[in-house]
Each structure stands twice: as C-alpha cells, then as structure tokens.
Amino acid sequence: LFHYRLTISAECPMRLVDFPMDGHACPLKFGSYAYPKSEMIYTWTKGPEKSVEVPEESSSLVQYDLLGHTVSSETIKSITG
C-alpha cells in the first residue's frame, strides 16, 4: 500500500481568438500506465471538491478570472489491459 501526495503546477496554452471574450478549459488528467485498476486507486482525502486547492493569488489576473473547477473520475481500459 503506497500513499503519495501530489502537488501539480500546470500551464494552459490559450488561443486568443475572440479576446477579451474568450473562454478556455484546461483539462488536467493523471493516472497510471504501469499498474492495473485493481492495484491503483486515487482517493481525494478531503472529498473531490475540497481536495483541489487554487491559491487566491493564482486564481485571478488583470485580464482573466478562474470561474471554477470540476472534479471527476473515469476508468479507461488500454490495449495492454
């Protein structure tokens, strides 16, 4: 049984076509290709919505505002199993 705490810093490239009226989505997905589903379970320790933390200073720029985030999970079967 292994436990890991993840801190992820990510960037989101934007194509500013209708600036300043653009809307953007920046999906962040993580998983494992090395272990089968029976050995790999990600659990949100504080529940899905409270486990994703966005610092106040990172959630707004002069031109942009973070309007929210969603959390979901999925299981994908690869060709290798």
- pLDDT at position 11, please? 80
Residues of the chain with pLDDT under 50: none
- pLDDT at position 73, please? 77
User: How many other C-beta atoms can be found within 10 angstroms of the C-beta atom of residue 52?
Assistant: 13
What pTM value is reported for the model? 0.45
Cα–Cα–Cα angle for 25, 26, 27, nearest 5°? Answer: 110
> DSSP string spanning 2-51?
---------------SSTTS-----------SSS-GGG-----TT-HHHH
Q: Where are the domains of the chain?
A: 1-81
